[in-house]
Amino acid sequence: MSIKKVLSVIAVILLVVALLYFFRYFKGKGAKNVGFEKIEPENIPTQINEVLPNYRMKEKALVCRINDEIFVVVTRGEKNSAGFDVNIKKLTLNNVDGENVLTVLAEYTDPKPGDVTAQILTYPFVVVKTDMTELPQKVILEKEYSH
């Protein structure tokens, strides 16, 4: 292979990488951070506790309005042992094609390899109260994993 061809291939690869970073950087532009506060299990509204069993087997983000307050719930699904957790790191609201889109960045914590954990079924979830005044039309769940 000639040096010209190698340089051409490298240039194309660099261009693709640069475009990916460019679009990823500008994807978040215009997004508004949403304030929130974690709700402890004993303070979760009754309406959420009533519907939570319907969603605890799934991995998803839900948004609901109770009275004039907007809550976000993130569920991780069924886990075969203790040591799994979920927290919300960030909420952002963005207008995409005329729709308000809420992006939920959740941090999933898993037990460290080799950790001894109780072998019981768990259903990790988190509930937060937001400072939003209107329900979004769409919710996107993004995940980060940690130990």
- For residues 98 and 134, membership in a common domain is answered with yes
Print pLDDT tens along the chain (147 aa). Answer: 688 888 888 888 888 877 776 665 555 557 899 999 999 999 999 999 999 999 999 999 999 999 999 999 999 999 999 999 999 999 999 988 889 999 999 999 999 888 899 999 999 999 999 999 999 999 999 999 987
Our count of domains for the chain comes to 2
Give first-to-last CA distance, the chain, whole Å. 45
- For residues 118 and 134, membership in a common domain is answered with yes
- For residues 122 and 53, membership in a common domain is answered with yes
Range of the domain at 26: 1-30
Q: How far is 107 from 141, CA to CA, in rounded Å?
A: 10
- For residues 58 and 10, membership in a common domain is answered with no
The predicted pLDDT at position 41 comes to 93
- For residues 131 and 60, membership in a common domain is answered with yes
Half-sphere exposure of 3 (CA within 13 A, CB side): 0
Do residues 53 and 77 touch, judged by C-beta distance below 8 A? no
Residues whose CB is less than 8 angstroms from the CB of residue 47 and which lie 6 or more positions away in sequence, other chains included: 64, 66
- For residues 88 and 131, membership in a common domain is answered with yes
